[in-house]
Structure 1
């Protein structure tokens, strides 16, 4: 397929867009809502012709039309079609060509302003200033360009580790898994519960196939699909013999013929039309935007004041204008895009080393802010290696009858085989006694009935048997009889009570219990859910799923990091309680699925505060619980890997799945674990918090230091008969300071800053600026006094000496503030920065001392400072450090640090 052209955008925005663009299925529902019916009509007009033609053809005619067969295309045929059709991908962007990316890296307000200042300097014959400013532009642009190219490559490499597969048929071969991107028109694909539909396709055969296409059509309930040909269809989305890319199979099975891929699918056309519509900002982007608005408000006040005071006071309005522009630049953390981009990319790479793949980079912030983790029990708290324990009759006595029926059910069902099916089929010794049975039909599993049935013909003929297995209560609801010592007895209330007690006893022992029942069936064309009635209970099959050894320490680690764990499971409450007890998770309350369904939203929000175990849940129950927790102000993570987890994964602040999960779970998740372990997730939480902490460091450092400088400039404009610094001085100082902070993404983070979730709080940032910014201004004023009275720099003729003295002091205090504000501890002793940050700030300090004394001084319009200045300067710096440290302690006592 021809890839969508990249939308012109710069740096950080472009980088985030690329990450979100890859997350296509999660965005689809929002696109449909945002652009409304017009978008759907536009998409339907683009792709409707081919799809409408497919609906009118019989399965055989459709195969002939696409030059395929019931066994699919050969590999050679598929390769020929692929060369013409391209990859089956939607919404991907070509990497920007390097010249265009370089332009985007340059095209920032900072660089444009510097270029304008260089132009003015050149027009006024100040070629030195123009040369220095253009060198600054080249340095800033180059840093941003190189870092973003590296970040983009790292993100692409991580995304390549996770791909969805489709079960493709090839002539003479068993169905094999291939990446969805390799599908071509004419391929025949097998679908079952949990699968993503990989392309627009014509149904060839289907058995109780129900597809969730709410993201495409808004229909809240799954839609049943059939293989029959249809008459003329106006809207392809209404055709029940088509399935569409981006939807998912809820239950049943089917084989389908791919008729459209990539941009030629309905989804592809919709994505192309919606690409011009901006999505709403995420919590992460909203936080960045709030910070930007805060700084813009301060700029709107400070910059005009500096312009007016200097213009009226000195009478040089052009100079005052250029100085005010430089102040505006000084108040803006212009390297924020580069810092954020590199911090997120570094965090994603670090998380990948810990077996955590980040699909959406701004999800790192949500992971760090997470304070509630909702997780399934199976495979997360337990080993996900379910072993068959034993089988019993209906009263809990050992009996092999139920085991044979369960084995036949698992052997012949074609839906999504779960770990219990695999544990049953591992009993190869049952293949002989159960041989000769022929499958006639099946009624697939779904999460409402919580059971599934197969219809089998016994060896040698005779009446067909419907064999049903599933959750205990759901199977018992269909039973009217019970097998007792080989005799069929009515299921009286007394017997039912005893049977439930036997099942409860098995669950209390920590076993997962499946009920098995059967009935003889008359001959008929097909069997349906309604036939699951008047069953005879054969007994129970019990499975052992022991807890992981790592679960207890992982729960302790998460608790130590301020994350509350809540268990959301479809299993019964007895076995869930038992597992929680074994892993050391105190049960504060249990709520069952039917109880959740009976509560309104307000009552559920109250209930989820205290309850930490939710059992026998349907998929919609999990989603409601997640939304209720979010409504309480929590940042919620949901960890799941099944089709029933998809709604909750979508509803959570951060959806977490595993690389062995079903396709729909992996597609809607933000983060993929390569190892299904809470310890791995805890490591990801730690990395997420480190990433966020380092981003917040830069914002605090830059905002407070720059605000202090601008405040000093404002005061100096009122008191001095000349500018306290030239515009070029401010810009050089700002650039050097930003260069020293380029290593912030690689900085260490104190352990005690990782113990609690972290969130954006722009109001705190405003208070932080007002607290720490004026401290630097106090010592700036002390430097003014030293230069004015100590060295006689009191007139425009001595302004270069004055400006040189403040230039050095200001750069050194800005260097120190990096180490003072990066941690609430005592700098260099209680908390030491990473070597990279020590190196860049050390280089900045050395450069600050050298520039006025070195050969570049005249170029920068600086002059050498007297030796006595360097004996007094350490006293100013020590006093500054002491005041900031005192203010930190007061701040921590009142507000905490993060």
Structure 2
């Protein structure tokens, strides 16, 4: 008892009563709360200020200052209003996204049972302190680091820390104090899960002074870079600013050389600046990403950073773990091997072996030699070792009378499983004063205690050759990726005999497999069609990993065993000649890999230009989640540390949800390209109209407030409608877009210039007719140009079709948000004409009936000719893209 009481003596805690409330309060003050410091969220001030750190804001701010300098206060205030509307919208979206993750963490707060003042109390986990007596049982998560002093058949799943999938059996006395985590069976660690038994331990570390806390601080120290979308939008904004400055300088210098007024030139330069800058770019991009985030939330995907959705859309390599992502994270019986038959599951109820004596005896052992709790009606609430739960499920499925067997064969004694004996045995009361022994364990250990085997004709002596044959069966099952248990029994003439776990009768083998998720195969097929390479990286056995990979079609039987590379092979493989390196790049399954090796794998693929997504759940996965371009954490079985390090959190732990996120990311990137093309073409048309009209049609140019008003309409509402479209059903039939490619590619710039030139030519032509054919005044011609440009830009939204898509099949045409946006914008344009205050502010004068034709004609021309132009150019782009390789090397 002296060894067992050492942690209690050191902490000054009574094992019978625990701490007093006064002692607990004092220690809580001394050691702090039992909370792993999560990465602190940004303050609202920093989030708000970041909205103003944009080149677009700088240029617009400069335009506002010029307006104030020339005492055009209405224009100056209008530009400032646009800046602040944009900033507050962006702030609201970012702040809500940050708040949603904080709420998720709060929902995950746990409780713990402790002994205080002689009574068991349930407390919030963050109220535990050093010296508390912590009580744990199956189904609970360990709330703090602690040292055990009492236990009963205690097993803990420490995979969140070590990556080892099977539960660890806890035992006393204590091991070496500085041993590795896996070699400290007397200790409990924060964040691990109790799967069997009960125990009492004294808390030795809380909060950041735990193994979990130490890793959290390492993860928080890693740097995170901007996502590709953020970089692309910043690059596009800089391009537009340079274009704006260049055009303004050329315009002013040219005008001065022609002897024009500096005041009028600077006024026109301000108009050019306002026309060139797409004020709604950041707003629409943020809202498009936020809408995608909401869609993914409905698919059980929590997005922590908005831009991460688009990055996942450009992902072309996904590293996925095995357990719980590709599989269901629950053991199920795959094979039962009896002396007279081999049964594969699911089993036909009419199979003759179902009613055989051997099978019924095996089910009896499975039920009696078992400490798990399972009910078919509440399968998700099962507690205990996963293999024991699977054995109970097997018995229930076979129609075995589980409650009856437990009631009539009460347990008298137990030899618990441990790493030395590698078997578990239970002694039960039998009829007529006899005893019944049930045993399960490793095949070689159970065979050592067997003297006979049960066959179709009854118990027969177990020969040496038959022992060897059973060992070969066990080895074969293990090589196919199955976990095996051997089962045996014995009937004793009396209940009180010593050495009752010997001279057993062998029954057979039960093999288990964590079954694959049914939705994984179609999801992997979708990845293949989309040009995405999926790789498995797991700490599990190579044979087990390969079996699962073949079951979900990640690997095929024709690939051979070379499709698997182990962590031990990796260092040598990468330093060998080209042939070995080629094998590495052809590998689909990496087994027995460590957390450090996962980092190396991600780095190697990133160095080849790939965008890498990584899934993980444990603390040991956190560095890799941070290193990956997109870290995807498991929400059901994952740790808080993994969630903090990841960009996405899967609430259902399903690989299919990752594919849904990839699809949504592609849709969002397609939508972003559409509205950016729309914005740039509209703004270029404004630049050309302002420049050309000032030179060709003096007195008929657009005013700064008119341009700003049109930008508020077309840069926000139609663009936003394009940004939240549902996308094409064929989006996953194409390869990922190049991560380094800009949002506006050279072909898109050519298309934007063509659209802008088309609109400019149509508008200047009708404006010329208005002035010199129909005799409209310069003020009326200005109003015609204003409304004509607005109408043309609104109908131009239907030119944003997919590649070679005719207007009638255009998904933009089916987008209900587009129609709502057009209706709203048309209403606001009409309001500027019929509302006195607005038409005076916009310098609008009454128009004759012929003006309606002059306004509608260029808009229709832009739609018809734009469809023809877009169709021709996009067909050319499609042929060029089809000739490119599907997957980057």
User: What's the TM-score bracket when you normalise by the shorter of the two chains?
Assistant: 0.5 to 0.7
Contact in 2 for aligned 1:310/1:320 (Cα 8 Å): yes
Gaps of 5+ in 1: 1-56, 216-221, 234-238, 445-451, 519-535
Name the Cα RMSD after superposition.
Answer: 6.2
Q: In structure 1, what is the Cα distance between the partners aligned to 2:809 and 2:156?
A: 65
Determine whether 1:368 maps to 2:368.
no
Q: Secondary structure at the match of 1:297?
A: helix
Determine whether 1:355 maps to 2:300.
yes
Q: Assess, with a 3 A threshold, how the Cα gap between structure 1 residues 882 and 800 changes in structure 2: closer, same or farther.
A: same
Q: Secondary structure at the match of 1:858?
A: helix
Displacement, 1:661? 2.0
Displacement, 1:240? 13
Q: In structure 1, what is the Cα distance between the partners aligned to 2:385 and 2:156?
A: 18
Task: Output aligned runs, 1:86-165, within 5 Å.
Answer: 88=35, 90-91=37-38, 93=40, 114=60, 117-118=63-64, 120-137=66-83, 139-141=85-87, 143-144=89-90, 147-148=93-94, 151-152=97-98, 156-157=102-103, 159-160=104-105, 163=108, 165=110
Q: Assess, with a 3 A threshold, how the Cα gap between structure 1 residues 102 and 305 changes in structure 2: closer, same or farther.
A: closer
Gaps of 5+ in 2: 163-167, 179-183, 343-352, 374-382, 396-401, 430-436, 454-458, 489-504, 882-889
TM-score normalized with structure 2 length: 0.68
Contact in 1 for aligned 2:477/2:483 (Cα 8 Å): no
Displacement, 1:356? 3.1
Residue from 285, 290, 301 that aligns with 1:345: 290
Q: Secondary structure at the match of 1:751?
A: coil
Q: Give deviations 1:153-195, integer Å, cap 9, x for gaps.
A: 55555x3586375765456999999875565555555799999
Match of 1:882 in 2: 864
Match of 2:828 in 1: 847
Match of 1:422 in 2: 389
Displacement, 1:514? 0.7
Displacement, 1:326? 5.2
Residue from 59, 68, 86 that aligns with 2:7: 59
Contact in 2 for aligned 1:196/1:664 (Cα 8 Å): no
Determine whether 1:791 maps to 2:763.
no
Match of 1:288 in 2: 230
Greater gyration radius? 2
TM-score normalized with structure 1 length: 0.67
Contact in 2 for aligned 1:481/1:491 (Cα 8 Å): no
Q: In structure 1, what is the Cα distance between the partners aligned to 2:687 and 2:668?
A: 29
Determine whether 1:589 maps to 2:589.
no
Q: Assess, with a 3 A threshold, how the Cα gap between structure 1 residues 227 and 318 changes in structure 2: closer, same or farther.
A: farther
Displacement, 1:692? 3.7
Q: Secondary structure at the match of 1:851?
A: helix
Match of 2:753 in 1: 773
Q: In structure 2, what is the Cα distance between the partners aligned to 1:174 and 1:647?
A: 41
Q: Give deviations 1:665-689, integer Å, cap 9, x for gaps.
A: 9546554444455555554444444
Q: In structure 1, what is the Cα distance between the partners aligned to 2:22 and 2:723?
A: 48
Match of 1:859 in 2: 841
Displacement, 1:253? 11
Q: In structure 2, what is the Cα distance between the partners aligned to 1:560 and 1:697?
A: 23
Q: Assess, with a 3 A threshold, how the Cα gap between structure 1 residues 359 and 81 changes in structure 2: closer, same or farther.
A: farther
Q: Give deviations 1:45-95, integer Å, cap 9, x for gaps.
A: xxxxxxxxxxxx95224533xx78588668999799879956725235468
Q: Assess, with a 3 A threshold, how the Cα gap between structure 1 residues 269 and 576 changes in structure 2: closer, same or farther.
A: closer
Task: Output aligned runs, 1:177-256, within 5 Å.
Answer: 183-184=128-129, 187=132
Q: Give deviations 1:236-281, integer Å, cap 9, x for gaps.
A: xxx9999997999999999765566557889889989998x89331
Q: In structure 2, what is the Cα distance between the partners aligned to 1:888 and 1:243?
A: 65
Contact in 2 for aligned 1:355/1:680 (Cα 8 Å): yes
Q: Secondary structure at the match of 2:839?
A: coil
Residue from 797, 801, 814 that aligns with 1:818: 797
Q: In structure 2, what is the Cα distance between the partners aligned to 1:273 and 1:618?
A: 20
Which piece of structure 1 moves more, 770-779 or 681-690? 681-690
Q: Secondary structure at the match of 2:484?
A: strand
Contact in 1 for aligned 2:144/2:205 (Cα 8 Å): yes
Which piece of structure 1 moves more, 883-892 or 668-677? 668-677
Match of 2:711 in 1: 734
Q: Assess, with a 3 A threshold, how the Cα gap between structure 1 residues 173 and 328 changes in structure 2: closer, same or farther.
A: farther
Q: Give deviations 1:558-584, integer Å, cap 9, x for gaps.
A: 556555666667467599659956989
Determine whether 1:725 maps to 2:707.
no
Q: In structure 2, what is the Cα distance between the partners aligned to 1:878 and 1:212?
A: 64
Q: In structure 2, what is the Cα distance between the partners aligned to 1:555 and 1:271?
A: 32
Q: Secondary structure at the match of 2:716?
A: helix
Residue from 815, 834, 838 that aligns with 2:815: 834
Residue from 246, 259, 266 that aligns with 1:304: 246
